[in-house]
Structure 1
């Protein structure tokens, strides 16, 4: 019995040793506490298979592919791009109209008061219809209400292509001026009518601050990276460039390695 038991153990050991040599080893492929799959590599030294991995930097894994928020890129959203083109920019036109069929009250002059907010709600609804055909129109922002029937100083908000901004802006200005030749908004119960000849339209040029604001838009540059990007016009196109970009006015130079933007700023890796 002792000899048979020894032979059985020896035979089992040989099988396990043989199996260990022929079956490729794998690293752990379990999921983390956040249910994001970890990296796992299997196989011999001659070939490896990479199991789909979790996305970094708030990327979304859809059907095995990471969809990255701007400016992140890479298979796992692991790297930030150094230049991001901004296709459209926000522009404004300053407008003043006098609403002649509405009685002004002193409370309306107080920004944020109930009287102010009630009038602004109606004004926005009416003007969204009235201004709808202006190229690039996205909305209005009321700045102040003052006495004189009701004088409404407001901004007309536009979204225009940067590459042909001047032509687009002028077209919107002309359309707006023409629209204000109509003395009343829609014909429903909240119709607003304007004093003829009292409307004023003023162009607002794009400023460097306006361009910088485009790089503070989270859909262009993630919040945690915004301090390391600034606006630059490159070949008549607007870009947000990082401190690692050669287009940056203040580029970060690496003696060793390549510059990468991280949430802590530029680093050489």
Structure 2
């Protein structure tokens, strides 16, 4: 009887029964298939980089150790004072200190603001409006600050530097070697990243009755189903996948053995691949490599 597969790919691992895909952008019996569409998101955390100089503090090296008590006390005081400036910005979520340097004390940090993907509101235009608000608020803080010499609050140099940070793309979840074959697309459910195998992609590959797959450094490729494979599909397509509940393990093993037996039956005429479909069922499809 055929053995269960254990040659897991793309960071997946074999748990004794099946390959477990640790990266949610891959699926399949071997974690060999990359998804054609990322889950849509309705918001994105955007950032503005800010550099400020504190003139009322002396630099010490333990300020650069984010685990030190000195840094934690500094972070709490700095955050409390700075957040008063940004609190009224729509979508404001907080600040993140990136680093601290000498001179007197120079703080590099990011202002995090949540932006919303909207059909009639370009995300880049929203970012520019948010960026303008951040500049206005921090300029107002450093130019109107008074009575900062008693140690209760920090004194700041009026020269503040701000910079744009690239908005994270949903396509950043896709491995670098595949990204040329994906694009961002706003759909009613939110912003997603779709491959050239996804029908909603304007550059989608039409494989007719075949199966479209994205291959490394190649892009979308059509794998055709032969008559022999159609016969196999009639035997094993849509076998129910049972996992984690009741007969989960037994059902999972039964599913694999059913498919592997069918693969063995037809392998002398054509290469076969046991494929886990996104719907959760299993089937046999053509492959560019022998099943092993």
Q: Deviations over 1:226-250 (max 9, x none)?
A: xxxx974225762155898435779
Distance 1:201 1:165 in 2: 19
Whether contact under 8 Å (1:130, 1:185) holds in the other structure is no
> Normalising by structure 1, what TM-score?
0.51
| 1:100/1:83 CA distance change after superposition, 3 Å | closer
Distance 1:89 1:200 in 2: 24
1:120 aligns with 2:75: yes
Whether contact under 8 Å (1:143, 1:153) holds in the other structure is yes
Q: Match of 1:195? A: 157
| 1:213/1:260 CA distance change after superposition, 3 Å | same
Pairing partner for 1:178 from 128, 136, 159: 136
Whether contact under 8 Å (2:184, 2:194) holds in the other structure is no
Distance 2:66 2:82 in 1: 19
Whether contact under 8 Å (2:185, 2:192) holds in the other structure is yes
> Normalising by structure 2, what TM-score?
0.48
Q: Deviations over 1:83-103 (max 9, x none)?
A: 642111121111001122223
Whether contact under 8 Å (1:98, 1:151) holds in the other structure is yes
1:211 aligns with 2:211: no
Q: Deviations over 1:196-219 (max 9, x none)?
A: 1x2100011235xx434578xxxx
Whether contact under 8 Å (1:90, 1:157) holds in the other structure is yes
Unaligned stretches of 5+ residues in structure 1: 1-79, 216-229
Distance 2:48 2:133 in 1: 12
| 1:154/1:95 CA distance change after superposition, 3 Å | same
Q: Match of 2:191? A: 238
- Max Rg structure: 1
Pairing partner for 1:101 from 46, 53, 56: 56
Whether contact under 8 Å (2:182, 2:195) holds in the other structure is no
Whether contact under 8 Å (1:232, 1:241) holds in the other structure is yes
- The alignment of Structure 1 onto Structure 2 pairs a total of residues equal to 174
Distance 1:169 1:186 in 2: 34
Distance 2:88 2:104 in 1: 27
Unaligned stretches of 5+ residues in structure 2: 1-34, 175-180, 206-211, 214-222, 231-236, 239-275, 286-292
